[in-house]
Structure 1
């Protein structure tokens, strides 16, 4: 066995397990909360944005309006949502913030005895926002660390893969409706292309977080994508600022 030195990127900040919501600078608030989109306007989105701004977070909404820092690293953004958690006697909400991998990093409940839906839900949300800690963002820093890696001497020409992109062996993916070809452009970029189309279905560019990519869709919209259990997942933008999870499995 012969030892060679391989440089690997070790991410601080957002890559650290046990991330706290106060570590985040940006919080994304939907333009329309899903649980309330078919109901009369309660003003919860504006109230949530105002409450988070009061806690020193920078609130972002439509992806096209995100600042460059957030677009370049979608995993530096926390994603907020408010659900209707009401009982027969009280208006209740469940307020959650998740990271880019949908891991829960903050949760709080609020309840109100006010019977009016609009005033009651607003009162409940205000109670939940009180529990949010003030933003104290952690600087996202990349440091380089050298690690010895053992490889067989007969494979001297081989190097360890620099990205998890190369670990995925399948070149064809489908979501049951579309059959796409994965084309590796370089170590940090690949595309998903539909046969017969001159425009790629999606272009993936590596972010600062392993297995998470900045994605440009063929309609021009931007979102994030990531690897999950050997599949390629894209958060597909929907009207109103929501996202749906689209899973493409290797064929």
Structure 2
């Protein structure tokens, strides 16, 4: 008798509310914006950091030492960027906040200045743009996570669902030291690259936290405690490999 092959995955996930600005703990400000030639030219970056801190955020420049938890969870962080749309006689600045997927989650109203001297003009325009940030009345609130234990069936997703005969399947576990892979954002997921560098897997997002479909491998990548496991079939042999993935 034939049956569709499923991978039964038991995992604890959180049910999350949609994030608001208050759910992000840190702001990282580029030490050089793309509209100036030079690091912190006209003190644009240091002023931006100062104003974020003034209005309740915890802000760092991107070349400063960051808290350890930022390395473990980049999605606690928003990137605070000044965008310039100046014309010949008017300096125009807006503030963008971007999440860990580089998605814009907030854009300020445009701040303007008629000052002729560059430093004064940028400072006035940035301060005016920050009136929108001030109006947020930011206060950090950790995102509540209601833990729910579920049993989730995740099919080995392929263009055509793989059908196999009922039989005992050999499981091959790779017991070597866990290889480190680095995640690079692609459409609908990530590509995981080793230190050579070469692409080891392309993984696609699912609606389950910390579970990805491995493209072209008929398998999944999932997190268990502090490690990531790639689980797929190779010539009807089930392969499980452990990795350390840096997002």
TM-score bucket (shorter structure):
0.5 to 0.7
Q: For residue 141 of structure 2, what is the aligned residue in structure 1?
A: 138
Counterpart Cα distance in 2 of 1:131 and 1:37: 27
Larger Rg belongs to: 2
Which is strand-richer, 1 or 2?
2
Counterpart Cα distance in 2 of 1:86 and 1:53: 26
Q: How many residues align?
A: 175
Q: Unpaired runs of 5+ in structure 2?
A: 156-165, 170-182, 203-220, 231-242
Q: Any idea what SS the aligned residue of 1:35 has?
A: coil
1:180 corresponds, among 199, 213, 224, to: 199
Deviation of 1:140 (Å): 3.8
Is 1:8 paired with 2:12? yes
TM-score normalised over the length of structure 1: 0.57
Q: Any idea what SS the aligned residue of 1:52 has?
A: helix
Check 1:150–1:179 CA distance in 2 against 1; reply closer, same or farther (3 A cut): closer
Q: Kindly indicate whether the alpha-carbon contact (under 8 Å) linking 2:40 and 2:46 is maintained by their aligned counterparts in 1.
A: no
In terms of mean alpha carbon deviation, does 76-85 or 35-44 score higher?
A: 35-44
**1:148-196 alpha-carbon deviations (Å, 9 max, x no partner):** 55699x89x9xxxxxxx9xx9xx9979xx953335989753379xxxxx
Q: For residue 129 of structure 1, what is the aligned residue in structure 2?
A: 130
Check 1:39–1:58 CA distance in 2 against 1; reply closer, same or farther (3 A cut): closer
In terms of mean alpha carbon deviation, does 115-124 or 60-69 score higher?
A: 60-69
**1:13-62 alpha-carbon deviations (Å, 9 max, x no partner):** xxx43x33233221001111122135992111111111010111111223
Q: For residue 102 of structure 1, what is the aligned residue in structure 2?
A: 102
Q: For residue 221 of structure 1, what is the aligned residue in structure 2?
A: none
Alignment of 1:195-206 (within 5 A): 204-205=244-245
In terms of mean alpha carbon deviation, does 137-146 or 87-96 score higher?
A: 137-146
Counterpart Cα distance in 1 of 2:21 and 2:149: 31
Q: For residue 116 of structure 1, what is the aligned residue in structure 2?
A: 117
Alignment of 1:24-173 (within 5 A): 24-38=24-38, 41-62=41-62, 65-108=65-108, 109-132=110-133, 133-147=136-150, 149=152
Q: Unpaired runs of 5+ in structure 1?
A: 158-164, 192-202, 206-214, 216-224, 226-251
CA RMSD of aligned residues (A): 4.0
Q: Kindly indicate whether the alpha-carbon contact (under 8 Å) linking 2:30 and 2:61 is maintained by their aligned counterparts in 1.
A: yes
Check 1:63–1:140 CA distance in 2 against 1; reply closer, same or farther (3 A cut): farther
Deviation of 1:117 (Å): 1.6
Check 1:173–1:136 CA distance in 2 against 1; reply closer, same or farther (3 A cut): closer
Q: Kindly indicate whether the alpha-carbon contact (under 8 Å) linking 1:81 and 1:97 is maintained by their aligned counterparts in 2.
A: yes
